[in-house]
Chains A and B, each alone.
Chain A
Amino acid sequence: MAIDKSLYTGSTTMLILKLLEEADMYGYQMIEELNRKSKNVFELKAGTLYPLLHALEQKELVTSYDETADNTRVRKYYSITKNGHKYLHEKKKEWKAYTSAVNDVLGGTNYATA
């Protein structure tokens, strides 16, 4: 299902942090996981992901480290920081307030017809 892009650009940060809350991952892995978990709704492009990850790293919400994969390639893994956890918690709260407000409004029409 394709969804209007503007609906989730703001929440991409939240989704990335949520993924990293579960495990440290490298970029490609994040895109795969996000695809799988959202049942292909969120098709994040690598070109969007990396600038975002690098910006998050500078804001110290995530941190990165190198790990050698199959002996030749060095993979850059990302891991969530304490600040990242805090930020995610805040964003989740905001998101819940927002969605419940939307639901209230949408549900309001039902209430009126009932």
Chain B
Amino acid sequence: MQQLDKITEYLDTVRQQVRWKKAQPIVLDEIQNHITDQKNAFLNDGFDEETATDKAIAEMGDPVVVGEKLNRVHKPKPDWSLLALTVAMLLLGLAIQFFIHSTLGGAWRFERQLVSSGIAIPVMLAAYFFDFTIVGKYPKLAFFALCVITIACLFFTGTVNGRSPSMIYPLLLFPTAFAGFVYSMRNKGYGGLILCGAVFIIPAVLSYYVPSATVLFLLCVSCLAILTGAVLKGWFNIRKRLGILILYIPTAAVLTTPFFIIMGEGYKAKRIQAIFNPSLDPTGAGYMGTIIRRLLSNSQFIGEGFPINGYMPYEAFHILPEINTDFLLTYLIYRLGWIVLIVTIALFAAFIIRAIILCMKQKSVLGFLTSLAIVSTFAVQCIVYIASNLGFLLFSPLSLPLISYGGKILVTNMFLIGLLLSVFRTGALVRDTTGTVAVNLNRFIQYDDGRIIIDLKGNLIK
């Protein structure tokens, strides 16, 4: 026992030097392993237990010095570029809201957006310092809770024109919860993959009750990305190619069927055609598309666009609805020039590309899947918004994250960004340990590369 105490004492001294708590267990495990190896080597050399322990500890070096060196290496690493981009987007959003509402009137809206930012920033910081691994610890609970909240929004919040837009906010959190769920399916094989697909149906059906095709599209893209990532990382322990086929063939089938059904119905087919060519129906289904295209074709690179024939007595903000929310970019391009679009795209592209690079670098599957979920949620919003503001209206815009008007969507997106940055800040230390022991016990017969491996308490028979 005394020998063990000496080792514990040594480790404790090292631990006290490493200030970042999250780094401690990983660092100490490795050092403890090392001491054990060293001690066993001395025991093999014929030393007695006590001498072997003492010598092993002496070999390690001064625990304070070792701990200090480790402390210097292990510090949380905030990604300053993403933090700066977040601040830039938030400030740009407020500047734009100020500009819009001072030109159009309704300064109270700007004040409201300011208050919303005041709420969103602490929410983001809370998520940022929050231990994101909780996503993987209680995945089923989180998923279930989100379902309950979304359904509660459906029944207990008001509807606008028969829609329940407040459901959108919890639905935007689903990909992240889904990442946690997929994470809990480690080594569950084809059944696990299919179960994930089945679970995906819940938020998909909920999005139908909003109803919002954009949210459904976002959920599809994001969850598909998560499952693809998990299959390619070998998370389900299945053959990768077959896994991808299982994933994509039913998805393609499900996604294309409604398209063919719609094309068979006169009215809806007309709407779809109008998306690609608004001038086919300029006063009906192609109305918005036509206005947007006319505004854009009269826009300049810098400065206010040229007057538009046919709409002459009216200002751009009279003919274009939802300027502060859904068609902010179209209006700004017409009002201030294409430069606005270039700046916006540059800002969002920088954020998304940087986030994808960091996401790909995540060593833990939990960090990888969580950040993938958030990046895709963010990216789909941006892409849909920019596409629709350029007149491609297949999906109606949800929001331009942190820029377009709306308090709840701002808080939701800031929460997600906080969580994303938390993954990047601490992700290097997260390890996917849960489940390994169970796997070793359960799967004592494994099939690997044409061999059957029977693992009897660690003695491999091949």
Q: How far, in angstroms, from A50 to B70 measured CA to CA in the complex?
A: 8
Q: Which of A16-24, A62-70, A95-103, A105-113 lies at the binding interface? A: A62-70
Within 8 A of B (CB), among A23-82: 26-28, 32, 45-48, 50-51, 54-55, 58, 63, 66, 68, 70-71, 73-76
Known contacts: A28-B34, A66-B431, A71-B458. The answer to whether A47 contacts B60 by CB under 8 A is yes
Q: How far, in angstroms, from A42 to B33 measured CA to CA in the complex?
A: 22
Q: Which residues of B contact A50 (CB under 8 A)?
A: 27, 30-31, 34, 66, 70
Residue of B nearest to A27 (CB): B34
- Residue pair A48, B70 in contact (C-beta under 8 Å): no
B443 CB-CB contact with A under 8 Å? no
Q: How far, in angstroms, from A28 to B363 measured CA to CA in the complex?
A: 23
**A59 to chain B: closest CB distance in Å?**
10
Q: How far, in angstroms, from A73 to B458 measured CA to CA in the complex?
A: 12
Q: Which residues of B contact A73 (CB under 8 A)?
A: 33, 36
Q: How far, in angstroms, from A54 to B74 measured CA to CA in the complex?
A: 8
Q: Which residues of B contact A48 (CB under 8 A)?
A: 61, 69
Q: Which residues of B contact A66 (CB under 8 A)?
A: 431, 433, 436
Number of interface residues, chain A, beta carbon within 8 A? 22
- Residue pair A58, B70 in contact (C-beta under 8 Å): no
- Residue pair B73, A58 in contact (C-beta under 8 Å): yes
B237 CB-CB contact with A under 8 Å? no
- Residue pair B73, A51 in contact (C-beta under 8 Å): yes
Q: How far, in angstroms, from A15 to B60 measured CA to CA in the complex?
A: 19
B232 CB-CB contact with A under 8 Å? no
B65 CB-CB contact with A under 8 Å? yes
Q: How far, in angstroms, from A62 to B82 measured CA to CA in the complex?
A: 25
- Residue pair A76, B61 in contact (C-beta under 8 Å): no
Residue of B nearest to A48 (CB): B61
Q: Which of A45, A51, A68 contacts B436 (CB 8 A)?
A: A68
**A2 to chain B: closest CB distance in Å?**
16
Q: Mark B65-88, 1 if CB is under 8 A from A, else 0.
A: 110011011100000000000000
- Residue pair A45, B61 in contact (C-beta under 8 Å): yes
- Residue pair A46, B60 in contact (C-beta under 8 Å): yes
**B19 to chain A: closest CB distance in Å?**
14
Q: How far, in angstroms, from A54 to B25 measured CA to CA in the complex?
A: 14
**A36 to chain B: closest CB distance in Å?**
13
Q: How far, in angstroms, from A63 to B431 measured CA to CA in the complex?
A: 13
Within 8 A of A (CB), among B259-303: none
- Residue pair A58, B428 in contact (C-beta under 8 Å): yes
- Residue pair A74, B29 in contact (C-beta under 8 Å): yes
- Residue pair A45, B36 in contact (C-beta under 8 Å): no
Residue of A nearest to B437 (CB): A68
**A40 to chain B: closest CB distance in Å?**
14
Q: How far, in angstroms, from A51 to B440 measured CA to CA in the complex?
A: 31
Q: Which residues of A contact B60 (CB under 8 A)?
A: 45-47
- Residue pair B428, A63 in contact (C-beta under 8 Å): no
Q: How far, in angstroms, from A1 to B428 measured CA to CA in the complex?
A: 39
Q: Which of A47, A54, A63, A68 contacts B61 (CB 8 A)?
A: A47
- Residue pair B30, A47 in contact (C-beta under 8 Å): no
- Residue pair A27, B30 in contact (C-beta under 8 Å): yes
Q: Mark B26-43, 1 if CB is under 8 A from A, else 0.
A: 010111011011100100
Q: Which residues of B contact A28 (CB under 8 A)?
A: 33-34, 37-38
**B445 to chain A: closest CB distance in Å?**
16
- Residue pair A46, B31 in contact (C-beta under 8 Å): yes
Q: How far, in angstroms, from A75 to B433 measured CA to CA in the complex?
A: 12
Q: What would be 9 A-B contacts, judged by CB atoms less than 8 Å apart?
A: A27-B33, A46-B34, A46-B60, A46-B66, A47-B61, A51-B69, A55-B73, A58-B428, A63-B363
Given contact pairs A54-B70, A74-B29, a sample of 16 additional A-B residue pairs in the complex whose CB atoms are under 8 Å apart: A32-B41, A45-B61, A46-B31, A46-B38, A47-B61, A47-B69, A50-B31, A50-B70, A51-B69, A51-B70, A51-B72, A55-B73, A66-B436, A68-B436, A71-B457, A74-B433
Task: List the 9 closest pairs (A to B, CB-CB), nearest first.
Answer: A47-B61, A47-B66, A71-B458, A51-B69, A28-B37, A45-B61, A54-B73, A46-B60, A55-B73
